[in-house]
Amino acid sequence: MMEVEFLILLLISSIIAGFLGSLTGLGGATVLVPIYTLFLGIPMAYATGASLISTIATSSGTASAYIKDRITNVRIGMSLEIATTGGAIIGSLLAHWIYEHHLVFILFIVFGVVILSSVYPQIEKSSLELPKPMKPDWTTKIFQLYGEYYDAALRQEVKYYGVRWWLGEIVMFFAGLISGLLGIGSGALKVIGMDWAMNLPLKVSTTTSNFMIGVTAATSSSLYWLFGYIEPALAGITAVGVIIGSYLGTKVLVKTRNTRLRLIFIIILIFLGIEMIIRGVSLWT
Amino acid sequence: MDMNDVIGYALRIGVLISISLIIIGFILLSTTPQFSELTSPNSRFNTSVVKPEEVFRGIRKGNGVDFILLGLMVLIATPVVRVVLGIIQFAMQRNVIYVIITLIVLFNLLLAIFILPLII
């Protein structure tokens, strides 16, 4: 029964990916695609298609909880989705062009670079407090980039506002593009867009990023579907596995101080990033 | 009930329906010869030729793959529903600029789902 073994392997991989993804806020796809392509011999197009589908599942599954917490800023998220969905369309079309021209090595290399560059914010994350306030600009008012939430760790009501909406949009366009190109949620880039460009508190950035990922991934998935990159059994089992994994992740997250877990995750990321680049280069030459 | 709660429930229900359809699909599929064909790294399944009406016909026949496909469609549709509910929410708040912004997002989504397939 080869197929049952293969299914179990897929399920276990996607549970692990979902678990790690939810612990770190990167989403399952970042480790899922490398595992699928490097170790399970799944073609890149199917691996990215399945991971996009699983990204929608986790985003929708957890967004409902975050919206309840009222930390997610729905307005800011929605305004940035103009750029991420636009970027996702361009990215998916670009991915299709790359597959048509048998240039898949490019995707391996870009994927490796994206993974390695998401290591830095992982290291940085622990030291971040609330952002230094900046002067509100014209976009703060027009796009109503403000809100407040109760921070359970600081035990206070935090009032905040965002600035430089246009800069956020530019970063988000690239986040959407990478998402469509590589089949990931590109949560790390989205967080950079809100945290660095728009000066929003990290908690708002991460939860709002999670909220946005589903809409971005839905845009790319429908195009991936059209191109024939979604294998139903693979995508189905991955969605179920990642949901289970991320559910377990959120349970563990509240109980543990996760510095050690974060270190393990960083090592995994570095390893997978380098492996992806090596694979890409070997496919190229 | 607060609109935020409506949106939260809509997302959760969408995911639950989708996961249930996928699991039912796998159970139905496991007894058919198609099972080994689909569950291998060499699967050649191509969604580009799948038509929604065929999926619904397959559901009535108890065809496992079509249950999985419908589950995936529901999953992709969940964020679309979420955006539509967002438009209603902003309209209730009379937030004109955000109604327009959310309409643009919906347009992008529908462009990817319905319009680009006609062009490509």
- The tens digit of pLDDT for each residue in A37-51 reads 999 999 999 999 999
Residue A52 contacts B where some CB pair is shorter than 8 Å? no
Say which range, A198-207, A235-244, B31-40, has the weakest mean pLDDT. Answer: B31-40
Element (H, E) at A251: helix A232-255
Q: What is the mean pLDDT of residues A185-207?
A: 86
Phi, psi of A209 (to 5 degrees): -60, -45
**Which amino acid is located at A86 in the chain?**
G
pLDDT higher than threshold 80 for residue B39: no
**Cβ distance of A223 and B116 shorter than 8 Å:** yes
Q: pLDDT at position A154, please?
A: 77
Q: Number of residue pairs across A and B with CB atoms under 8 Å?
A: 179
Residue B18 contacts A where some CB pair is shorter than 8 Å? yes
Angle at A231 between CA A275 and CA A277, to 5 degrees: 15
As a whole number, the mean pLDDT across chain B is 89
**Cβ distance of A222 and B76 shorter than 8 Å:** yes
Residue A63 contacts B where some CB pair is shorter than 8 Å? yes
**Cβ distance of A219 and B46 shorter than 8 Å:** no
| B 40-69 residues inside an 8 A Cβ radius of A | 40-41, 43, 45-50, 65, 68-69
Q: pLDDT at position A1, please?
A: 46
Q: A67-71, A251-255, A272-276, B27-31 — which one is most confidently predicted on average? A: A272-276
Choice between A97 and A19, residue whose per-residue pLDDT is larger: A97
Which residues, listed in sequence order, are joined to residue A146 by a DSSP beta bridge? A161
Phi, psi of A71 (to 5 degrees): -90, -40
Closest in B8, B105, B120 to A78, CB measured: B105
Q: pLDDT at position A39, please?
A: 92
- To probe the interface with A, which of B3, B15, B116 has the most A CB atoms within 10 Å? B15
Q: A127-141, B7-21, B48-62 — which one is most confidently predicted on average? A: B7-21
Q: pLDDT at position A279, please?
A: 94
Q: Which domain holds residue B65?
A: 3-119
pLDDT higher than threshold 70 for residue A281: yes
% of chain A residues with pLDDT over 70: 90
- To probe the interface with B, which of A55, A81, A100, A141 has the most B CB atoms within 10 Å? A81
Tell me the three state secondary structure of residue B42. Answer: coil
Q: What is the mean pLDDT of residues B35-56?
A: 79
Number of domains in chain B: 1
What gap in Å lies between CA A281 and CA A285, rounded to an integer?
6
Q: What is the mean pLDDT of residues B4-13?
A: 87
Q: pLDDT at position A77, please?
A: 93
Closest in A7, A85, A232 to B45, CB measured: A232
CA distance to A212, A264, B16, per residue, from A121 (Å): 19, 15, 33
Q: Which domain holds residue A83?
A: 3-284
Q: pLDDT at position A258, please?
A: 55
Choice between A281 and B30, residue whose per-residue pLDDT is larger: A281
Q: pLDDT at position B35, please?
A: 78
Q: What is the mean pLDDT of residues A5-28?
A: 85
The pLDDT-based confidence of B46 (bands split at 50, 70, 90) is confident
Closest in B5, B11, B95 to A60, CB measured: B11
Q: pLDDT at position A249, please?
A: 80
What gap in Å lies between CA A98 and CA A78, rounded to an integer?
30
Q: pLDDT at position B101, please?
A: 96
pLDDT higher than threshold 70 for residue A125: no
**Cβ distance of B68 and A236 shorter than 8 Å:** yes
Residues of chain B in contact with residue A60, where contact means CB-CB under 8 angstroms, are 11-12, 14-15, 75, 78-79, 82
**Cβ distance of A89 and B39 shorter than 8 Å:** no
The pLDDT-based confidence of A61 (bands split at 50, 70, 90) is confident
Per this entry, what is the length of chain B?
A: 120
**Cβ distance of B18 and A143 shorter than 8 Å:** no
**Cβ distance of A70 and B29 shorter than 8 Å:** no
Q: pLDDT at position B37, please?
A: 74
Tell me the three state secondary structure of residue A149. Answer: strand
Q: pLDDT per residue over A227-269, tens digit each?
A: 999 999 999 999 999 999 988 887 776 666 556 777 877 888 8
Q: What is the mean pLDDT of residues A123-131?
A: 61
Q: pLDDT at position A70, please?
A: 77
Residue A237 contacts B where some CB pair is shorter than 8 Å? yes
Number of domains in chain A: 1
Q: pLDDT at position A124, please?
A: 65
ipTM > 0.85, yes or no: yes
**Cβ distance of A228 and B71 shorter than 8 Å:** no
As a whole number, the mean pLDDT across chain A is 87
Residue A276, CB-side half-sphere exposure with 13 Å CA sphere? 28
